[in-house]
Structure 1
Amino acid sequence: MTTATAPDAHATNSHTANAHTSSPSPSRSSSPTLDAVRDRGALRAVVSRGILGLSQYDGGRWTGLDTDVARAVAAAALGDPEAVQWLPTDPAERLDPLAPGDAELTVCNLTWTLGREARWPVLFAGVTCYDGEGFMVRTDSGIEDPAQLAGARVAVQAGTTSAANLAAWYGSRGLSVEPVTFPTPAAALAGYAGGECVAYVLDRTALAGERAALPDPAAHRVLDTSISREPMAAAVRDSDPHWYRLCRWVLQLLVAAEHHVDEAGPGRRTEALAEAARLAGPHGSAVGLDEGWAARVLDAVGTYADVYERNLGAASGLGVPRGLNELWTRGGLHYAVPLH
């Protein structure tokens, strides 16, 4: 079972920021969203109802790549990475809380598309994970290629782009499948695991977590083929450019800090992170932050490499290769925007 909900899903997890990092100035900023977050003492972040590696409640704490992004924003804005009210939400409703101001950030394995920005009053602040839609099948099925699923029933989540991606990929080949829509990730996984569907279609990174949640992960495999482009991204309301800029630069900082560590070489991580924080810190005033914002972010979650390895890499037990999520210097798509 992958769905997990905190005893009080809207409760703030209290945690004291590390003593050696400074807290942001309490003065009013040019961002009404930042001011509201500070008045409340917590960031409200929309996450999935439970996908291992992305956002999962383990009975004591939310973990995952998406939740670490939210913690990074909270560290910058509030000085406390645990000052987050988690809002676990079904896929079809991931943007709903942003529009009326019921949340400040959506980090919920949500693909950045023109259609979503055109339809909703939101902006995507940056890519958190480059992905592609794939298929999980039973290992003993003999299925090696998505084309072999023609005519089969496949499980998809409501509110995702899966059905459209399936129609586009199979239709271009003169084939078709029968998408079976489920309202939640847990229901989709159960529909597949119970034999109602031959395959489960979802972003391949998310499928790695779903596979690990099954009683016998070895009995299932994720096919190598991706049928779509799925840049998962963090979303905010489009009415506050200062808050948008804050969230965007928190994400950029994680990538840039990894680049600084790589450039510095072995044994110089501490100096490299300090340099990244030194370069980025003075620009915090543009979004209502003090000069310690970047140091707090890196102290809270580390670099993008740390976030990925902890939640999706070998250290997580999932072992999802970084692939396109490597830095551009290693053939990936994450490009470090200069911090100076």
Structure 2
Amino acid sequence: MSTPTLDAVRRRGALRAVVSRGIRGLSMRGDDGRWSGLDTDVARAVAAAAVGDAEAVEWVPSDPADRLSTLAAGDAELTVANVSWTLGREASSPVLFAGVTCYDGEGFLIRADSGITRPEELAGRRVAVQAGTTSAANLASWYGSRGLAVEPVAHPTPALTLAGYASGACAAYVLDRVALAGERAALDDPGAHRILDAAISREPMAAAVRDDDAAWFRLCRWVLQLLVSAELHVDEAGDREKALAQAAEAAGAHGPAVGLDKDWAVRVLDAVGTYADVYERNLGAHCGLAVPRGLNELYTRGGLQYAVPLH
């Protein structure tokens, strides 16, 4: 099946992916120039399927306010930049969300010695937010429904938002709780700060594509589904290599129908592994963040990651 977006990506020899300007665990450029994070691994998975090379990605760092407009303008084929899937975003931009990459909720980074234990205790205070995110609207909704208010202080980039909080000008930094784990780790003394347990919103971070190419949308959606389904195969079978081979065979058979060959799933799983591998590598204990999977567990373990059948 021909898809204009896939054809363009192959002619260029690389996928263009919109990412954040730097949030540890999601998308961050290392000192060696290599990008890492859950979002960047999703982009690599798509590149492995579409181009045949997981490293064939041109990274397009973007401010929060431009994550979807850059995609809509044709300057990228995929956005994986901790952007939440909302009706408002799909209704106001020519984009479609291909699937949830990480279920989360907006939370608060505060100083450990502040004495604050609940979001209500931040009422009347200044809180740092990233411009172009849903943070300000979420704050207004959550606090307003309780007859309270906070003063959002918007900054254009993650780095400036973190600096605004670290300077002491704001009592808290408001962002998706998974992203806050990475931001906390970037502070000079992470142990002097903590993330409140409570979340004030639902934030399903998702991969987005333009809405003018249904075949490309389908391709990206099934790359994401493969990662989750492969994890379930491993979980149920116990024999990792056999389970991955079975998942790749089941998905690979449908490759030609979405513009790919029959080995596309093998390449994806060889490049990034299952969803569990992606999560643990970028957000797990061994990388220093130790963000519990919570809602991002498989549905068989009480989470929301449901493995859509591949056959």
Q: Shared fold (TM-score greater than 0.5)?
A: yes
Given the alignment of the two structures, is residue 292 of structure 1 paired with residue 263 of structure 2, yes or no? yes
Give the whole-Å Cα distance in 2 for the aligned partners of 1:31 and 1:315. 39
Equivalent residue, structure 1, for 2:308: 337
Equivalent residue, structure 1, for 2:20: 48
**Does the residue aligned with 2:136 lie in a helix, a strand or coil?**
helix
Q: Equivalent residues in 2 for 1:155-170 (5 A)?
A: 155-170=128-143
Aligned length: 310
Q: Equivalent residues in 2 for 1:69-218 (5 A)?
A: 69-218=42-191
* Cα displacement (A) at 1:256: 0.1
Paired amino acid for 1:314 = A
Given the alignment of the two structures, is residue 319 of structure 1 paired with residue 279 of structure 2, yes or no? no
1:113-144 residue CA offsets vs partner (Å, 9 max, x unmatched): 00000000000000000000000000000000
**What residue ranges of structure 1 are gaps of 5+ in the alignment?**
1-28
Give the whole-Å Cα distance in 1 for the aligned partners of 2:110 and 2:84. 23
Give the whole-Å Cα distance in 1 for the aligned partners of 2:101 and 2:93. 20
Equivalent residue, structure 2, for 1:20: none
Give the whole-Å Cα distance in 1 for the aligned partners of 2:261 and 2:2. 13
1:147-178 residue CA offsets vs partner (Å, 9 max, x unmatched): 00000000000000000000111011110000
Give the whole-Å Cα distance in 1 for the aligned partners of 2:271 and 2:52. 9
Paired amino acid for 1:330 = R
* Cα displacement (A) at 1:287: 1.3
* Cα displacement (A) at 1:316: 1.4
* Cα displacement (A) at 1:112: 0.1
Give the whole-Å Cα distance in 1 for the aligned partners of 2:92 and 2:236. 41
Paired amino acid for 2:277 = D
Given the alignment of the two structures, is residue 57 of structure 1 paired with residue 15 of structure 2, yes or no? no
Equivalent residue, structure 2, for 1:23: none
Cα RMSD for the two superposed structures: 0.5
Give the whole-Å Cα distance in 2 for the aligned partners of 1:100 and 1:335. 32
More helix by share: 2
Determine what percentage of the aligned residue pairs are the same residue: 78
1:10-34 residue CA offsets vs partner (Å, 9 max, x unmatched): xxxxxxxxxxxxxxxxxxx510000
1:173-228 residue CA offsets vs partner (Å, 9 max, x unmatched): 11000000111110000000001100000000000000000010000000000000
Equivalent residue, structure 1, for 2:5: 33
Paired amino acid for 2:148 = L
* Cα displacement (A) at 1:98: 1.4
Paired amino acid for 1:53 = G
Residue 205 (structure 2) aligned to one of 232, 250, 258 = 232
Equivalent residue, structure 2, for 1:283: 254
Give the whole-Å Cα distance in 2 for the aligned partners of 1:297 and 1:327. 19
Paired amino acid for 1:167 = A
Give the whole-Å Cα distance in 2 for the aligned partners of 1:122 and 1:284. 24
**Does the residue aligned with 2:179 lie in a helix, a strand or coil?**
helix
Equivalent residue, structure 2, for 1:10: none
Give the whole-Å Cα distance in 1 for the aligned partners of 2:73 and 2:37. 26
**Does the residue aligned with 2:99 lie in a helix, a strand or coil?**
strand
Give the whole-Å Cα distance in 2 for the aligned partners of 1:298 and 1:240. 25
* Cα displacement (A) at 1:286: 1.2
* Cα displacement (A) at 1:59: 2.0
Equivalent residue, structure 1, for 2:241: 270
* Cα displacement (A) at 1:101: 1.3
Equivalent residue, structure 1, for 2:278: 307
Give the whole-Å Cα distance in 2 for the aligned partners of 1:135 and 1:47. 22
1:270-303 residue CA offsets vs partner (Å, 9 max, x unmatched): 0000000010001011111000000000000000
* Cα displacement (A) at 1:63: 0.2
Give the whole-Å Cα distance in 1 for the aligned partners of 2:306 and 2:254. 20
Give the whole-Å Cα distance in 2 for the aligned partners of 1:99 and 1:57. 24
* Cα displacement (A) at 1:100: 2.3
Paired amino acid for 2:140 = A
The runs of at least 4 consecutive aligned structure 1 residues that moved more than 2 Å come to none
